[in-house]
Amino acid sequence: MTIDTTEDLFVSGLKHAYHTEQRLLEALEELEETSSNEELKSGFAEHREKTEIHVDRIEGVFERLDAEAEPEEDPVVEGMIEAHEEFMSKDPSDEAIDRFNIAAGQKAEHYEVATYGNLIPMADQLGMDDAADTLEETLREEQDELDTLSEMGEAFDYGELSVSQ
Ligand SMILES: [Fe+2]
Ligand SMILES: [Fe+2]
């Protein structure tokens, strides 16, 4: 498939976003399961529910485009998942995992904010106002989650991690 129109570019971006959201559904489950802090755990569980809606919204945009909802592998999200697996293989303490998971979540949200921040003006450009609005709702939820995680990262109590020798 050649990409030389705004619509091609939009559809290509949408396919990558679709893949990203689907993979994040699994990743958020992993983040929830591996975290110990209750607030962190429930935060990931809540955002996972929102992520299901994000997947539905993208499917709705594909429908409006009369295109088949088809994911295309996004190497960035695969890399983030791999980084988490690699970290977990190093036998980290519960506290270290919590701190790592906050950062991992933040990185994913930053990526999604950038993804939707680019798709929305393209939808506008294509005159797809409904699609732009629905993607805007998702963007706001990603930004909220990013803000929550950033606050948790800043307020993290490093006293729970052992002091290095
Ligand atoms: Fe999302
Ligand atoms: Fe998200």
41-52 pLDDT, tens digit per residue, is 999 999 999 999
Amino acid at 27: A
Q: Which CATH architecture has domain 6-68+78-155?
A: Up-down Bundle (1.20)
132 to each of 55, 56, 60, 68, 110, how far by Cα in Å? 15, 14, 11, 19, 19
pLDDT tens-digit series, residues 88-97: 999 999 999 9
In the prediction, which pLDDT does 162 show?
Answer: 76
State mean pLDDT over 72-84. Answer: 98
Which ligand minimizes its atom distance to the CA of 28? 2
Which ligand minimizes its atom distance to the CA of 58? 1
Taking a 5 Å cut-off on Cβ, the residues next to ion ligand 1 are 51, 54, 112
Mean pLDDT (the chain) is 96
Q: What percent of the chain has pLDDT over 70?
A: 98
Q: Ligand 1 mean position to 112 CA, how many Å?
A: 6
Q: Ligand 1 mean position to 3 CA, how many Å?
A: 25
Contact assessment for residue 82 and residue 22, using Cβ atoms and an 8 Å cutoff: no
State mean pLDDT over 120-145. Answer: 98
Contact assessment for residue 135 and residue 65, using Cβ atoms and an 8 Å cutoff: no
Q: Ligand 2 mean position to 119 CA, how many Å?
A: 15
In the prediction, which pLDDT does 165 show?
Answer: 58
